[in-house]
Each structure stands twice: as structure tokens, then as C-alpha cells.
Amino acid sequence: MRITSETCTDGIREQLFTIGDIPGVLWTPAEGTGPRPLVLIGHGGGQHKKGWEVVSRAFPYVTSCGFAVAAIDAPGTGDRPEHPEIRRLVALLQEHEAAGEPFRSFPEWPALNETVAAQLIPDWQTTLDALQKLDSVGDSQPVGYYGLSQGGEMGIRLVAAEPRITAAVLGLVGSDWLIDIAARITIPVEFVLQWDDEGAPRDSVMKLFDALGSAEKTLHANPGGHFRIPSFEIDSSIRFFARHLSSS
């Protein structure tokens, strides 16, 4: 792991890093040392590790809870190199979208998600290995995951595969092909649904929520489309992680 830059603003230390070819960012409280709970944030499709959606969650997790928060670029985004296969699949999706076809019927969705996941899930695990070697994170503290939309699609796969993650906020995803994977998840989950989501229709999202194997799972549904999550859901996720990651 190589730290490529470090800045401190408003009580938050931001460290950009690379682990091999994985570009990432770690936010920790500027004051204080020693191990602390960690939240991994998976960004949405077409976004990157420092997009507004990531930062708007990461900063309060650091300042309100004292957590460490990390994000990495998904393949083909941010500081990653071009990924020809992902680029090809995204271009095909955009053609369907421009033609006004319904999102859920795009035949390239499963292939795109498989391609991203094949690289991103192992990369998250490599990143977690490296972060847990840092004094500011350590390997004795709980780990959470936050990700909606493509970050939810990837999160369900990651959480099902990674026993170090013990609480997760997921949602805005209703992929049929995740049902069996979701059933293997047993950690506490807060699952987010947008009532009028054109990309992840409510019935499909509820089917995934229903499939989760977790004894504690809570569904939060709000009116509006895919991108209209109310800001009080950020506050809710803070309390969710505070409840599940702060006790030890």
C-alpha cells in the first residue's frame, strides 16, 4: 500500500492510496490515534471513490462516529485505467437507454455486473487486508459496508463473501440473480428502496430484502426516483453503523 497524498480539512484526514493498481481513499479523524471501526463505501454506477454520494456519507461517519471510512474506484472508473469490455457494455446500455427501452430488460446488465464484480470483490478484500494493517484502522475493530445501486449490487456480493463485514447499508437494487447470494447474508442490514425507482422497481427490491438471511434487517422506503433519497437517510445510516460498529 502506497499513500500518494495526505491532506487535513475540517477535522478529517484524507489519504489517497494505491494498492497495486487499486486506487483508493481513506478518511480518518485528524485528531486521535489507534484502531477504530471501518466503513467501506461502494460508489454507484458511473461514479467514483470521491463522488458526492460517497463523500456525503464518509464525512459524517468520520466526524460523528470517529470511524475510518474507505472507498476504492470500481473497474473502469475514477483513477482506474480504461476497461475496454466495461466500456463496450456501458455503451450498449446507453444505446438501449437512448432508445427508451426499459432499464430492467437490458440484456447487458448481468454481464456488466459480473465483469465489474469479478475484479471489484477481490480488490475490496485486498484493500481490507491492507487497511487492517494500518495503525489507524487495525484488525480488532468491526467493519461495515455502505453501498446503493451498483454499490448495492456489489455490496451484496461482497458482504456474502467477506465475514469481516458485520453490518451493511444496501439497496436500490433488485437483481433477480442476487436472490441466492442475498440469502447467505446473516448480518444486520438496513435496506434502502425508492418507491418510484425506474431502475430498481419496488417489487424487485422488496424481493431481495425478503431474501436476505439476516435476523435483523430493516427496509426504508421513500417516495421518488432512484436518485432522490432524502437526506435523513444519511442520518439514519450514521445511527445504524453507530449501533452496530461502536459497541466493541
Angstrom distance (rounded) from CA 130 to CA 117: 19
Q: How far is CA 102 from CA 76, 85, 93, in A?
A: 24, 22, 11
Q: Among 219, 226, 234, 246, which residue interacts with a copy of itself (rule: CB under 8 A)?
A: 219
Query: Of 56-64, 102-110, 160-168, 234-242, which segment contacts a copy of itself by CB under 8 A?
Result: 234-242
Strand partners for 68: 38
Binding to a copy of itself by residue 223, rule CB under 8 A?
Answer: yes
243 within 8 A of 214, measured Cβ to Cβ: no
At its nearest, how many Å lie between a copy of itself and the CB of residue 239? 7
Binding to a copy of itself by residue 230, rule CB under 8 A?
Answer: yes
Binding to a copy of itself by residue 144, rule CB under 8 A?
Answer: no
At its nearest, how many Å lie between a copy of itself and the CB of residue 159? 18
Q: What residue spans of 66-98 are helical by DSSP H? A: 84-98
Residues numbered 34 to 63 that lie near a copy of itself (CB under 8 A) are: none
84-98 helix and 109-131 helix, angle to the nearest 10 degrees? 130
Binding to a copy of itself by residue 133, rule CB under 8 A?
Answer: no
DSSP 3-state of 73: coil
DSSP 3-state of 23: strand
Angstrom distance (rounded) from CA 220 to CA 196: 13
Contact letters (x/-) for a copy of itself, 173-212, by CB under 8 A?
A: --------------------x-x-------------xx--
Query: Of 16-24, 47-55, 125-133, 219-227, which segment contacts a copy of itself by CB under 8 A?
Result: 219-227
Residues in contact with a copy of itself, counted by CB under 8 A, come to a total of 19
Binding to a copy of itself by residue 234, rule CB under 8 A?
Answer: no
